[in-house]
Amino acid sequence: MKHVQSLTCIRCGAEHAPRPDTCTCSQCGGLLEVVYDYASIRCSISRAILENRRDPSMWRYREFLPIAKESDPSGLRVGGSPLYKAVRLADHLGLAALYIKDDGINPTASLKDRPSAMAVVKAAEAGADTIACSSTGNAASSLAGNAAARGFKTYIFVPERAPKGKVAQLLMFGAQVVSVKGSYEDTFRLSAEAIQRWGWYNRNAAINPYLMEGKKTVSFEIAEQLNWQIPDYVAVSVGDGCTIAGVWKGFKDLYETGLIHKLPRLISVQAEGCCPINKAFSEGSSTLVPMEENTIADSIAVGVPRNFHKALRAIRESDGIAVNVSDGEILSAMQVLGKTCGVFGEPAGVTGTAGVIKALQLKLIPASASVVSLVTGNGLKDIAAAIRAAGAPICIEPDMGLLLQAFKARGVPF
C-alpha cells in the first residue's frame, strides 16, 4: 500500500499507520480518513490505462484503493453498474440531462456491496475469521453475502423494522442475525458492545475507515461512463452520511490525480422525517442534533448519523445543496423511475431522484443542469413499500366480461 500515506484523524489530525484493523483514532476516538500519496498514484494511472482494463468490477480502480499489493479481492462481482441516460424522465421534468446510476444491480442489490467487498478484503488482511456490523439492512445483507462468498462468519444486528426482503437475504447467506427491538441507534450501540466483547472484525459504517474507500468507486465509474465529462450535480440519498462522503472522495481523488478538471456539486437528499445532516447544513451548524427515525425510507432512517462531519464537509466543500423530501414524494419518485426508466428502486434507493425532482420544482438547480442521480438499492428488497407506491393490480375471475368491466372502471381505453 505504498500509495497510502496514513490514516488521519479528522478531529485531532493525528496520523496512524494503515493497519487493516485500525478503526478510530487511538488518541481522541475521532474518525479516521485514508490519505493517499497522489503524486505516486498520478505516476501509475491515466485515463488510457483505465479504459484498457477488462475487469468491470470496482477493483479496476486498485491504484486508488487501500488494499495490500498481494491481497486477492476476488469474491462476488461488485460494481460496474449501468449509468442510464434517462431521456424520457429528463423531458418529463424539463431538465437538460439526467443520468441514473443503478447500483441496485449489485450482487446483493445495493450500493453497500462496494464497502462490504472492501470490508472482507481488509478482514482477510487482518487475519480475521468473523465480521460483524449493525445496519438498517443493506450494509447487513451485503456484508453477509460478500462474507459468505469468501468463507467468513458474520454476526449481524438489524433493527426490528428492517424490511423482510433484507432479513431473508441475511438468513439465506448464513449470517447469525440479531433483530433488535429498538431504533437503529439502539442497534448500533448493542453491536458496538458485542464487537468489543468478542473482538470481531468491525464493519460498522463510518467507524471502519476503509469502507468509504469502497463507496467512492461509484464516482470513478460515473466519470468513466460519462467519458470524463463531469456533471453539474450528483444527487445522493443520505443516512449515516458515508455514501455522500465516499462519492465526494471519489471525485476528489480523480481531481487530485489530474484525471478530471471539474468537480460536481452534491445534492444531499434526506427524508423530512429524519434529516439531521441537512438540517445542520441548512442552519450553518456543525453540531449534530439527533432526530426521530420517521420515514418509509428505512435505509436512511438514521437519527444519529455516524458520519455526520464527513458528510457535512462533503456537501460544503462541493458547494452543494440540501433537499428534504416527504414519504409521498419518495413513493412518487419510485413510480416515476419505474415507469419512465424501467429502474426499480427501494424507497431510500430513489430518494436522490425524489430530491432532484424537488430541487427543480424549488428552482434550487437550473433546468439547464446535467445531473446524475444514484439509485442506491433495489426495489425488490421492500415489496410492501413498492405496493404502497404502485397500487394493486386488477384482480378478477377468469372471465372476459369481468375483464371488460374492470378495464372500464379503470378508464383503460377499449
Binding site for ligand PLP (CB under 6 A): 110, 112, 138, 205, 237-243, 299-300, 302, 346, 348-349, 376-377
| Rounded-to-integer distance, Cα 93 and Cα 76, Å | 37
| Rounded-to-integer distance, Cα 333 and Cα 360, Å | 13
Q: E strand or H helix at 190, and its extent?
A: helix 184-198
Which residue, 16 or 189, has its beta carbon nearer to Zn ion? 16
12 interacts with Zn ion by CB under 5 A: yes
Least distance CB 275 / ligand PLP (angstroms): 12
Least distance CB 307 / Zn ion (angstroms): 15
10 interacts with Zn ion by CB under 5 A: no
Residue nearest to ligand PLP (CB): 377
Least distance CB 350 / ligand PLP (angstroms): 9
Which residue, 4 or 341, has its beta carbon nearer to Zn ion? 4
Least distance CB 35 / ligand PLP (angstroms): 20
Pairing of strands 15-16, 4-9: antiparallel
Which residue, 4 or 222, has its beta carbon nearer to Zn ion? 4
9 interacts with Zn ion by CB under 5 A: yes
Residue 349 binding partner per list Zn ion, ligand PLP, none, with a CB distance cut-off of 5 to 8 Å that depends on partner kind:
ligand PLP
Instruction: Please compute Rg for the chain using Cα positions.
Output: 21
Of 264, 235, 225, 211, the closest CA to residue 348 belongs to 235
HEC-encoded secondary structure of 391-403: CCCCCCCCCHHHH
Least distance CB 25 / Zn ion (angstroms): 3
Least distance CB 241 / ligand PLP (angstroms): 5
The residue type at 22: T
Q: Which of residues 337-376 bind Zn ion (CB under 5 A)?
A: none
314 interacts with Zn ion by CB under 5 A: no
325 - beta bridge partners? 271
Which residue, 73 or 137, has its beta carbon nearer to ligand PLP? 137
Which residue, 235 or 259, has its beta carbon nearer to ligand PLP? 235
- CA-to-CA separations, 185 to 112, 134, 402, in angstroms, rounded: 19, 9, 51
DSSP states of 295-345 as a string?
Answer: SS-GGG--SS-TTHHHHHHHHHHTT-EEEEE-HHHHHHHHHHHHHHH---B
Least distance CB 143 / ligand PLP (angstroms): 12
Strand order of the β-sheet with 32-36 is 15-16, 4-9, 32-36
Which residue, 27 or 285, has its beta carbon nearer to Zn ion? 27
Indicate the SS3 state at residue 404: helix
Which residue, 75 or 349, has its beta carbon nearer to ligand PLP? 349
255-279 as b/e, with b when 16 or more CB fall inside 10 Å? bebebbeebbbbbbbbbebbbbbbb
Which residue, 31 or 267, has its beta carbon nearer to Zn ion? 31
80 interacts with Zn ion by CB under 5 A: no
Q: Is the dihedral of CA 283, 289, 292, 293 positive or negative?
A: positive
411, exposed or middle or buried, with CB in 10 Å at 0-12, 13-18, 19+?
exposed
Q: Which of residues 18-77 bind Zn ion (CB under 5 A)?
A: 25, 27-28, 30
Least distance CB 295 / ligand PLP (angstroms): 12
Residues 6+ apart with CB under 8 A from 354: 269, 325, 329, 330, 332, 333
User: Which residues make up the interface to Zn ion (CB under 5 A)?
Assistant: 9, 11-12, 14, 25, 27-28, 30
